[in-house]
């Protein structure tokens, strides 16, 4: 019998396997995940609506900005995170990183965006567009709308810096392995509820109903940007408040005092050392391959799908409203997966079964999307009889693919990836997560973007190169499956060496003898 079965009734073990004594720690973590995920989902749709639907732009800009904007941005953000860790306590690092993002979003909305037409170099961009091949359209759009590009980059980095590095890194440090098996599936529900709420709030704010009754500024989309950013800032303040409550009133009292102060060896970190450490560990390399593969695959498909969505919804308000509806639907699917499937798969069938779920679902859903993408024109007569078009059908099945892929990612993929870090030493966690979550995930998206860039220079349009993208995509999925099976064997052997409820001592957790972590680059 498992420990859960001895503690909870069968129904509670299935739906709510949390002890009353654990609520003081679990609920703040749950709410932090909710607000971080809430901002992530609003930002994800806003950035696409701003940049992809701009005049003389399109989905072609995505591969270029992910290579030449987001990847350097991720490196710089990881460098900044390392320097802050070298000088500040963990608590102040968290406050500083979140404040940097919130300050940027406020500055963009209330200072930069009102003067966007003056700041954008349209004349220089027009000159470049008239002298460069058509395949450079995305790069020129990135330059033309540099303010939108900066917002796109910071919105993307919110996920890797705040959600992956800060929140999950902190959660892994203060959560025992036995707790993680019960907590993480429910924390994923918080992220799913955030997606549902963020999507519906974005739809309402972008709606004609609200824009006809509220007139903060003349442009309806500008008004939507102001309102959405204000909500993001309020949510950000809630994140900071929850973190302070958790560290000052829960962990310091319940966990810090229960651990005998131990003088720790100073852990030196640098970006170069992090990647060297990663290269020497087969276990961390397996995690890196899984993260890289997911990001390559999702980026390859999303660029094609968003190109179709942009053709169907060219207005930024309509584009944002549609993408927000997809976000809500994804949240609903994720919610039921988290509640009824993900936690049960991990607890009953083990880590490998949970980790292999995402690549299997993604491969099936992607095969369906490409079937209609390539076969839509041959079914023109049937579609006309049904009152739809090939474009609308491709967008529909691309949306279904995106919902299923992201729902499985937000539930089983994220939960199993974070669980894989827990049995590791503190040094492995710090260096591995900094390399994998700080830069590795962006390398995956950049790899997918480089593929699209190369093909755009040859075929000029995204649609014309889709058949080659499909072949590459399914090859990457095969590598992903092999990495999951390898890591599953290593995870099983490693966790067998640890007692399930052995506490994991938080970094910088000792009130008397504080750990010193040097992260000089």
Cα dihedral 122→323→368→416 (10° resolution): 110
Helix (H, G, I), strand (E, B) or coil at 270: coil
> 330 near 405, Cβ under 8 Å?
no
What gap in Å lies between CA 121 and CA 41, rounded to an integer? 30
Helix axes 137-144, 122-131, angle to 10 degrees: 170
The set of residues, in sequence order, having a beta carbon less than 8 Å from that of 349 and lying 6+ positions away, is none
Phi, psi of 518 (to 5 degrees): -95, 130
**Domains of the chain by residue range:** 23-498
Q: What is the pTM of this model?
A: 0.77
What gap in Å lies between CA 89 and CA 86, rounded to an integer? 8
> 193 near 41, Cβ under 8 Å?
no
C-alpha torsion sign, points 333, 336, 342, 345: negative
The set of residues, in sequence order, having a beta carbon less than 8 Å from that of 219 and lying 6+ positions away, is none
Can you name the CATH fold of 23-498?
A: Growth Hormone; Chain: A; (1.20.1250)
* Residue 11 CB neighbours (<10 A): 8
The tens-digit pLDDT sequence of the chain (521 residues) is 444 444 677 777 767 778 887 888 899 999 999 999 999 999 999 999 999 999 889 888 998 998 899 889 988 988 888 888 888 888 899 999 999 999 999 999 999 999 999 999 999 999 999 999 888 999 999 999 999 999 999 999 998 899 988 998 888 888 877 777 778 778 878 888 899 999 999 999 988 888 888 888 889 999 999 999 999 999 999 999 999 999 888 776 655 444 444 344 445 555 666 666 677 778 888 888 898 899 888 888 888 999 889 989 999 989 999 999 999 998 898 888 777 776 678 777 888 888 898 899 889 888 888 888 887 656 655 555 555 677 788 888 889 888 988 888 877 888 788 888 878 777 777 777 777 776 667 777 788 888 888 888 888 788 888 889 999 999 999 999 999 999 988 888 887 765 544 544 444 433 322 333 333 32
DSSP lists the bridge partners of residue 202 as: none
The secondary structure of 395-414 as a DSSP string is HHHHHHHHHHHHHHIIIIIH
- Alpha-carbon Rg of the chain, whole angstroms? 23
What gap in Å lies between CA 46 and CA 190, rounded to an integer? 21
């Amino acid at each position: 019998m498992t420990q859960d079965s001895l503690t909870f009734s069968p129904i509670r073990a299935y739906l709510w396997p949390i002890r009353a004594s654990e609520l003081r720690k679990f609920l703040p973590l749950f709410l932090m995940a909710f607000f971080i995920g809430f901002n992530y989902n609003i930002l994800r749709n806003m950035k696409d609506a701003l940049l992809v639907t701009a005049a003389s732009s399109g989905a072609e800009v995505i591969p270029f900005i992910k290579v030449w904007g987001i990847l350097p941005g991720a490196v710089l953000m990881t460098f900044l995170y390392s320097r802050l860790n070298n000088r500040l306590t963990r608590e102040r690092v968290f406050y500083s990183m979140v404040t940097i993002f919130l300050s940027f979003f406020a500055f963009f909305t209330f200072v930069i965006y009102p003067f966007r037409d003056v700041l954008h170099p349209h004349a220089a961009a027009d000159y470049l567009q008239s002298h460069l091949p058509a395949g450079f359209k995305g790069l020129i759009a990135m330059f033309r709308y540099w303010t939108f590009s900066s917002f796109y980059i910071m919105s993307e980095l919110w996920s890797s810096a705040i959600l992956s590095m800060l929140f999950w890194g902190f959660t892994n440090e203060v959560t025992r392995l036995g707790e993680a098996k019960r907590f993480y599936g429910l924390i994923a529900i918080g992220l799913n509820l955030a997606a549902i709420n963020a999507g519906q709030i974005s739809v309402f704010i972008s709606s004609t109903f609200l824009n006809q009754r509220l007139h903060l500024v003349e442009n309806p989309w500008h008004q939507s940007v102001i309102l959405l950013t204000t909500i993001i800032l309020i949510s950000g303040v809630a994140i900071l408040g929850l973190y302070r409550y958790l560290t000052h009133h829960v962990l310091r009292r319940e966990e810090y005092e229960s651990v005998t102060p131990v003088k720790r060896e100073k852990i030196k970190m640098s970006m170069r050392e992090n990647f060297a450490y990663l290269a020497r560990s087969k276990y961390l390399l397996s995690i890196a391959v899984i993260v890289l593969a997911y990001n390559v695959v999702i980026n390859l498909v999303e660029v094609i799908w968003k190109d179709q969505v942009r053709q169907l919804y060219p207005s930024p308000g309509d584009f944002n409203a549609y993408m927000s509806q997809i976000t809500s639907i994804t949240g609903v699917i994720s919610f039921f997966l988290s509640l009824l499937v993900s936690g049960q798969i991990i607890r009953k069938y083990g880590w490998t079964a949970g980790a292999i779920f995402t690549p299997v679902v993604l491969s099936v859903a992607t095969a369906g999307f490409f079937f209609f993408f390539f076969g839509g024109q041959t079914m023109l007569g049937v579609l006309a009889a049904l009152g739809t078009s090939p474009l609308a059908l491709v967008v529909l099945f691309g949306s279904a693919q995106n919902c299923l892929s992201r729902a499985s990612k937000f539930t089983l993929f994220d939960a199993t990836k974070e669980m894989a870090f827990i049995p590791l030493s503190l040094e492995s966690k710090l260096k591995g997560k900094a390399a994998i979550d700080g830069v590795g995930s962006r390398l995956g998206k950049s790899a997918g973007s480089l593929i699209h860039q190369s093909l755009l220079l040859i075929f000029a349009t995204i649609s014309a190169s889709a058949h080659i993208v499909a072949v590459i995509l399914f090859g990457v999925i095969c590598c992903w499956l092999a990495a999951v099976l390898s890591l599953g064997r290593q995870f099983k052997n490693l966790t067998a060496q640890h007692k399930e409820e052995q506490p994991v001592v938080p970094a910088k957790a000792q009130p008397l003898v504080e750990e010193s972590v040097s992260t000089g680059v």
